[in-house]
Every structure is written in structure tokens, then in C-alpha cells.
A and B are shown apart, each in its own frame.
Chain A
Amino acid sequence: MGIMTITAAPSSSIQTPKVRAIHRDQRLAILLLLPAAMTIFLVMIVPLGFALYASLFDYGLGQENNMTFVFLGNYARFFADPVAFRSLINTVVFTLLSLTLGLSLGLGIAVLLKRINPATANVLRAIFAMPLLISPIIVGLVWRYIYDPTYGLAYYLLRFVGLQNFGGLTSSATALLCIVVADVWHTTPFIILVASAGLTMIPDELYEAARIDGASSFHILFRITIPMLAKVLTVLILVRGTDAFRIFDLVYGLTGGGPANATTSLSVFAYKQAFENNKMGFAMATSVITLVCLVVLFGPFMRNSARKGKDI
């Protein structure tokens, strides 16, 4: 790493001996932080508080004046409900599958794109970004069309390989997998874009030095690329993971949660409770439970990247 030697001042802090300068710094930081923090607080944290509160009641949409206090009744109901449990399992399975497939595919493609000439890479990357740019409603529609046994492209191709009895979306065993495929199609662009940006920020000199030293492609991938991407990877896992966990549009559009609740995710379950069964309190409790699961599952990743920023 001889390239990056700069005669820098001692790393503790810039020579601003006056405390006033530090305070000015802090004030600037707070000013910079304020708009974002306030927005999040008002639009998201406050409703979260309300959701926690509301989950202790039983009421219908629009009936906030007629809430019946049930304390932890909604939560007890969740854990006693086999459908709720099923939706939890479905959600976890879905998230794991979608995340693993998406990350491997997305990272792989991003790395491959670095190896070809930049002009083509840019065009290809723009093409690969397209699925993300399509409205989720349409994504659901077109994949429903593709998966239709009578009209769909998927079955047309399957007929050539003799697999026309594939369960697809109508079999409890395979429906979730089909939705994962559609989701990977829809969200891999996100991973490719972010990973590409991250890869760009790795200095070329590192690669050159490694190649001069005779490292193989695999070596480069695992010793240089992935560690340098560590922070970006963490963000990707966090963002994609939490999004996958809360999947709704795709599931609702493709199967409505069926067949026989084989694909109902936690958000579909909450939606049905809220808007079909008219049990808002229960839906809020489900959402709170979803949030707790998310914090438990993805919290560790947060702690990893929450190391204090380096002193400047």
C-alpha cells in the first residue's frame, strides 16, 4: 500500500486547538443533520409510536375513536394463529432465497462488467437497470402472464423440455420459488447498480499491483474486491434484506397469498387483516412483530457498520 502514504498530521484531530472551533463543527453537523432527522421523525417515528399504541387495541379502519383495549391480545392471537406462523416462515424463506440469489447474481454481474470495456459496460448496465424502473404493478402483471399455464412464456418453454406439469404458481410447493424468481428479476438491478458504484470506488492501482504480483482472478475477487466492498455489501444486505422481508406487491399480484397460504408473507397477512378482515389493531401488531423480526435478523449487520466514523 505504498501508494497511499501521505505525510499526514497526527490522526487525533486537525490542529484546531480552540474548543470554539469544535463547537462550530458540531453545530454545523447538527444543522446538516436536522432536515433529514426531522423528516424521519415526523413521518416515520411518530407513526411507529402510534402503531405500537394501536396494536394494543382492537378496531377497524377509520374507527380510531372506537378502540377496544385488548392489551397483548393481538400478539397472543398472532402466536396462536397457524396462518400467521405460516406467513412468518414463508417470509423468512423468501427473504433468504431472494437475498442469496440476488446478491450472488448481482455481485457476479457487477464484477463481470468491470472486466469488459467501459463503453459496453455502461450500455449493458443501463439495460440491466431496466427491470427496476418498471412499476411493481406491471412487474406483477407481466410475471403473472409469463407464469400462466395456458398463455405464459414460461410454460411454452417448459413444454419443450417436457416439464409442462410444473406446479408453477398453482402448487403450494413451487409457488414461493416462482415468486422468488420474479423478485430476483426485479431487484437484481439495484444490487448491480450499487455494487458497480462501490467497485468503481476501489482504486485501480490495487488491481494493477495485484496483477503485477501474479494474483489469479479468484484471488483478486476474494482478497481485494469483496473486502473493499464490505461496507457496501453490508448496506446491500440491509436494504435488500429488509425490502425482501416486507414483500407485498409481487405476492399479492401473483398469487394473492395462495395457494392455500403457501405464499402469504407477513405484509400480505397484515394487509388482509387490515383491509379485508377489518382488524386494524391486529394488523398493527403484525407490523410490530415484523419490525422486531427485522431488528433481530438485521440488527447485527447494523452494528457491524456502525463503527464510529474516523476522526477528521
Chain B
Amino acid sequence: MKPLRLGSIATWIILGLFTLWTVVPIALVVLNSFKRAKDIFTTSPQLWFTPTLVNYVNALTKANFGLYYCNSIVVAVVSTAVVIGIGTFAAYALTSFRLIAANTVANGFFLGKLVPVISMLLPLFVIINSLGLRGTLAGPIIAHVALNLPFVVWLMMGFLRDVPPELQQAAMIDGCTRMQTFWKVLVPVILPGIAAASVLAMQYSWNELLFSLQLTTLDTYTVPVGIAGFVGSISVDWGLSSAAATAAMIPPIILGFFVQKYIASGTIGGSVKG
């Protein structure tokens, strides 16, 4: 069918342009990481230049980047696992049971998202300090779980509501308990949603600065803290911060690639047959 052919050329053009638009700023950061400052600040973009690794070397030596990386990984993985876990459970509770105050609680979660961050800082600092957890990774983990929870709960609620209730009913008729229904039937169906939420939660935690800096000490700083240190108050070390940013980009990007197939794999199409 001719119209389809034309449509697919247009599709590819649009996708191509969008790819360019997406990639160019990132390419700038990566390229800058291999340039000396002289080559970054030129009046016309330089594609040809003598590359140097000095920025990466400095990033490793000037700040404790190896340690920051490890800390970031722990914080991101743990906080994401926790937030997806308790968030999905909460979403399940709010959508599939006839809880009386479900609406209020759901709205309460949303309200939590609107709370100004500056008002969260001092109370959280005091709580973490009095629990003796200041300077450990537990501080940022708790903060990230709390910051990600509202949107994870709402996202999972959205996905769970899109699942036809007949699926759950069928499972329960077959004798599954609630939790069995959850694991056996719902989770595979909303897996794309879980995958999407995991990536988003993890990237937020990976890049979060405020709480990761204020609730921790030298041994427990994370990657964004290190990057922020290179972006000074009155002077920015472009090469250094670009190198740090490039190195920081890699784990989330790898995760992004890895998770794509879960986002795109649909199981609902096959699970509801007449």
C-alpha cells in the first residue's frame, strides 16, 4: 500500500532528526572531556583536535572518584530496589483491594511529591542524625526512596489500572491467593511499567545531588557530589567536569539499553485469549 511506504520514510526522517537532536549535546560533553580547555573555548566548533586523557586522570586523582562510583552504585541499586518493591506493593493495595481510604491515601502520595525540597532538608537531617545514620549511605537511600515513591506509586497505579480485571479474577477463581495473583499474573503483565519505573528511579537516584551531599561525609559522597565539585562557584573546569560527567553517564546508559526489551515486551496480548 503506497501510503504506508511514504509514511515509513517520514517516520525514519523524523526519528533520524530526533536522534541527532538527542545525541549532539551528549556528544559535546563527551568530546569536551577529551579536549584541553583551549580546544573547548573556540569560536567555531572544533571537530579536529589533539585528544588528551588528562581530564580523566585528574578526575581520578583529584577527587576520590572510584569511591564515589561505588557509593553511587550501592545507593542507586538499593534505593531503586526498595522503592520499586514498596511502591508496587502500595499501588497494588490501592488499586485491587477495596480499601476505604484508598483515594485519600493515593492523593496523600501525590501531595508528598509536591512538598518543597528545602523544607525536607532540615527535618530529614535531624532524623538521620539522631538515628546515628549521618555520614552513612542509609541517609541518601532513605531520601531517594522517599523522593521517588510518589511517582513510582502513581505510575504503577496507572499501569495496574490498565490491566483488565478479568485477569485477576480468572487467577483467583483458579485458587490463587492475592499475593500469588500478584506475582504470577500481574507482575509479568506490568513488567514494562516496572522496567520503565526502575530506570527512572535509578537515574534519579544516580543523579541526585542535594541529599547525597548534605546527609553524607567524605567517605560516602556519590558521583554527583564529585561532579559538582568540579563545577566551581566562580570557575568551571570544563574538561574535568565533562570527563566526570561522561564517566557518570555510562552505568545508567548501560542500564537503559538493558532494560529496553522489558519495556517493549508485552505479555498482555497473549494472556487474554477467548
Q: In the complex, A touching B, CB below 8 Å? A: yes
The complex places the Cα of A197 from the Cα of B224 at a distance, in Å, of: 28
What is the distance, in angstroms, from B89's C-beta to the closest C-beta of chain A?
4
Question: Are A141 and B155 in contact, with the CB atoms below 8 A?
Answer: no
A43 at the interface (CB under 8 A from B): yes
B51 at the interface (CB under 8 A from A): no
**Chain A residues, Cβ within 8 Å of B8:** 115-116
Partner-contacting stretch, out of B54-62, B63-71, B91-99: B91-99
The complex places the Cα of A128 from the Cα of B150 at a distance, in Å, of: 24
Question: Are A201 and B89 in contact, with the CB atoms below 8 A?
Answer: no
| CB 8 Å contact bits of A134-166 with B (1 = contact, 0 = none) | 111111011101100011010010000000000
Pick the most buried of A64, A151, A193: most chain B CB atoms within 10 A of its CB.
A193
| CB 8 Å contact bits of B234-273 with A (1 = contact, 0 = none) | 0010100110010011001100110011011110110011
Question: Are A232 and B249 in contact, with the CB atoms below 8 A?
Answer: no
Question: Are A130 and B253 in contact, with the CB atoms below 8 A?
Answer: yes
Question: Are A200 and B266 in contact, with the CB atoms below 8 A?
Answer: yes
The listed residue (B40, B92, B110, B203) touching A32 by CB distance below 8 A is B92
The complex places the Cα of A40 from the Cα of B153 at a distance, in Å, of: 11
A-B contacts at CB below 8 angstroms, number: 340
| CB 8 Å contact bits of A4-47 with B (1 = contact, 0 = none) | 11101101001000000000011011101101110111111111
**Contact A131 to B22, CB < 8 A, known contacts A203-B269, A287-B118:** yes
A177 at the interface (CB under 8 A from B): no
Question: Are B15 and A40 in contact, with the CB atoms below 8 A?
Answer: no
**Chain B residues, Cβ within 8 Å of A291:** 114-116
Partner-contacting stretch, out of A74-82, A84-92, A235-243, A254-262: A235-243
Which chain B residues (1-52) contact chain A, with CB distance < 8 Å?
Answer: 7-8, 11-12, 14-15, 18-19, 21-26, 28-29, 32, 40-45
**Chain A residues, Cβ within 8 Å of B75:** none
Question: Are B196 and A194 in contact, with the CB atoms below 8 A?
Answer: yes
| CB 8 Å contact bits of B115-133 with A (1 = contact, 0 = none) | 1101110111001000000
**Contact A295 to B97, CB < 8 A, known contacts A36-B109, A125-B264, A308-B103:** no
Question: Are B196 and A14 in contact, with the CB atoms below 8 A?
Answer: no
B217 at the interface (CB under 8 A from A): no
B218 at the interface (CB under 8 A from A): no
Which chain A residues (106-137) contact chain B, with CB distance < 8 Å?
Answer: 108-109, 112-113, 115-116, 118, 121-137
B193 at the interface (CB under 8 A from A): yes
Chain B interface mostly: helix
**Contact A131 to B26, CB < 8 A, known contacts A14-B169, A115-B8:** yes
**Chain B residues, Cβ within 8 Å of A129:** 199, 253, 256
Question: Are A25 and B263 in contact, with the CB atoms below 8 A?
Answer: no
A positions within 8 Å CB-CB of B: 2-6, 8-9, 11, 14, 25-26, 28-30, 32-33, 35-37, 39-48, 50-51, 54, 64, 105, 108-109, 112-113, 115-116, 118, 121-139, 141-143, 145-146, 150-151, 153, 156, 185, 189-190, 193-194, 196-198, 200-201, 203-205, 217, 228, 231-232, 234-235, 238-239, 242, 246, 267, 270-271, 274, 283-284, 287-288, 290-291, 294-295, 302, 305-306, 308-312
A-B contacts, 7 of them at CB < 8 A, read A26-B98, A47-B119, A129-B256, A132-B203, A133-B256, A146-B25, A291-B116
